[in-house]
Structure 1
Amino acid sequence: MHSFALIGAAGYVAPRHMRAIHAVGGDLKVAYDPNDSVGILDSYFPNAHFFTEFERFDRHVDKLRRRGEKIDYASICSPNHLHDAHCRFALRSGADAVCEKPLVLNPWNIDGLAEIEQDTGRRISTILQLRLHPAIIALREKFGTSNKRHKVELTYITSRGRWYYTSWKGEDEKSGGVATNIGVHFFDMLSYVFGSVKRNEAHLRERERAAGFLECARADISWFLSVDSNDLPPEVQGKKTTFRSITVDGEEIEFSEGFTDLHTRSYEEILAGRGFGLEDVRASIEIVSAFRQAPITAGHEWRHPSARRTSSK
């Protein structure tokens, strides 16, 4: 049985990691979060030690190591800007790291983590769950070796309330902004399917939404991301809080289902030695980092998704 630690136990995504650890037969020995709203632990690991002070958490992990009960994996669900430091902590504690997206905020952080991997002999894996989605696997099989250029449009709107802007997610320095926080796994998927990025344009960069254009090896991609419910299509508003759409050459790619167990699938792959490592994540981190620095330019045929739907009728 593999033993786990969890950093960021009160976070939004932490229950998915708890469920995945439980599903693969792991044992969560210890968890940490500065906030103590972690009653969800009772559903999976009621005997896990829990700390709200990192120093006490660190001491407990070290005590386990010195007793010959070291942690095998540290799962990291902390705020984005802390991922780098927490991955370093995990490796220096003798554990492999399993880190939520985005692994880091900037590509040069990946180089530093690679040095820590080499120094410690431990490994960092990240959650790139869309690569495991059946629809995306089929998409890559269909377009991964295409000799034709494709036109792709991505729209992802996931409504967030007022709390979002008060939390660390509303601070660009901590979250990386909307494009990084909710878009990084889509950018990973797009470059995974359509090849390396040749051009990266920023067309819109606001607190609630972002939009841009990517020229990949095999596709021209226009994208729009938002956390504002007002951007939901009229036919969805009041019924759903999330809208996803990917079209390739005008054809809708259906991938609205199949998301529920992707974290468990990710853990299964990691435990089997097939997790996604530092180099797998580099392309998506380069995309979001460059987008944050890029000047805002006129849209490359970009229109708000509602305008696209109106004009196509």
Structure 2
Amino acid sequence: MKNFALVGAAGFVAPRHMRAIRDTSNTLAVAYDINDSVGIIDSFAPQSAFFTDFESFYEHGQRLRRSPSTALDYFSVCSPNHLHHAHIAAGLRLGCDVICEKPLVPTPDLLDELVRVESETGRCVYSILQLRHHEAILQLREKVRQARLDRKFDVTLTYITSRGKWYAASWKGDPRKSFGVATNIGVHFFDMLHFIFGATQRNVVHLNEVDRAAGFLELEHARVRWFLSIDAGDLPESVRGQKTTYRSIDVSGEALEFSEGFTDLHTVSYREILAGHGFGLEESRRAIETVQLIRTAQPVAVPADAHPFVRRMAT
């Protein structure tokens, strides 16, 4: 049984981590969030200590180190994106292996800094890349690996997840904290694409706005047109007024169906990490490089073969 600390206990994704800690028969020993609306802890670990200031939380973790039976083994990070780097480094220096939500950090330079802290502390950082455990993704990856080496699949990725006015008022609506829509809602899709189709050969941005982004990504084994949005107005007519989210991935004319099978992927991720099979820092590098370029690129003129949603906006 391992002892866990959790940072960002009031966040949207935190319950998935709490459930994973419980369902892998481990203990959430201490949690932290600046927000005290964390009654969800009672459903998973009512015995957990809780703090609303980081200094007291960190000092409590140091005290726990005095005894092997209470010392923290893992440090789970569910805090806002811009705090990940600092919280990961703190967890490593507390003597823990760290499990962090995506994106780990916004730039390759900060990833390199975490590599140095890993070396200094002798501990490891693991990212939650749950789509890599999804059966449909694994099957497609195997199909690509069995294809001709020179084959390139044509992929159209569309993801629209409607957000209300609260989004703009939260840290997620601040690009200095979320790093923009392509990073905040798209990084796990870009990681999935790299996992299946390989490294980047070309990365072109057609649209980069507060609420949406789009572009073209050429990978070793795919040509990808992608569109990401948090604006309900971008939903197709076929689902507008019925659903708030639209997800579509077309691979050379075949729909990739992975709307099901998400329920336990965080728990699967935790099991793999605990068994020594987690995804380390270098596993996240390609996606981090991709979203950094998207954030900083100057959008180009929309070509005829751009994502159809972008072409529609351009007309």
TM range (shorter): over 0.9
Tell me which residue corresponds to 1:311.
none
Q: Using the alignment, how far apart are the partners of 1:244 and 1:188 within structure 2? A: 16
The reply on whether 1:45 has 2:45 as its aligned counterpart is: yes
CA contact (8 A) 1:144 1:195 kept: no
Amino acid of the structure 2 residue aligned with 1:97: V
User: What's 1:302 paired with?
Assistant: 306
Residue identity matched to 1:247:
D
Paired with 2:310 and 2:245, the residues of 1 have a C-alpha distance of 15
The match for 2:19 is 19
175, 180, 186: which one aligns with 1:177: 180
C-alpha separation in 1, matches of 2:162 and 2:270 = 27
Contact 2:213 2:227 in 1 (8 A): yes
Give per-residue Cα distances to partners, 1:116-161, cap 9 Å, x unaligned: 1111110000000110000000010001353311111000111111
- Kept in 1, the 8 Å contact 2:215–2:307? The answer is no
Q: Deviations over 1:274-309 (max 9, x none)?
A: 00000100000000001111111023422443978x
With normalisation by structure 2, the TM-score equals: 0.95
Q: Is 1:163 equivalent to 2:166 in the alignment?
A: yes
Which residues of 2 match residues 1-313 of structure 1 at below 5 A? 1-68=1-68, 69-146=70-147, 147=149, 148-300=151-303, 301-305=305-309
Q: State the secondary structure of the residue aligned to 2:182.
A: helix
Take 1:280 and 1:169, find their aligned partners in 2: how far apart are those partners?
24
Question: Is the 8 Å Cα contact of residues 233 and 306 (structure 1) preserved in structure 2?
Answer: no
1:205 CA drift (Å): 0.7
- Give the secondary structure class of the aligned counterpart of 1:66: coil
How many residue pairs end up in the alignment?
308
Deviation string 1:65-121 (CA, Å, 9 cap, x unpaired) is: 123321100000001011011110001000000000001011111111111111111
CA-based RMSD of the aligned residues comes to: 1.2
- In structure 1, distance between residues paired with 2:105 and 2:32: 20
The amino acid of 1:182's aligned partner reads I
- Structure 2 residue runs of 5 or longer lacking an equivalent are none
Residue 227 of structure 1: how far off its partner (Å): 0.8
| Superposed CA offset, 1:26-79 (max 9, x none) | 100000000011010010001101000001101100110123321100000001
Partners of 2:160 and 2:167 in 1: CA distance: 14
C-alpha distance in structure 1 between counterparts of 2:145 and 2:302, whole Å? 27
Does the Cα contact within 8 Å between 1:149 and 1:220 map onto a contact in 2?
yes
Distance in 1 (CA, whole Å) between partners of 2:71 and 2:189 is 35
Structure 1 ranges of 4+ moved more than 3 A: 303-308
Contact kept, 8 Å, 2:159 with 2:247, in 1: the verdict is yes
Cα distance in 2 between the residues matched to 1:129 and 1:234: 30
Greater Cα shift, 177-186 or 138-147 = 138-147
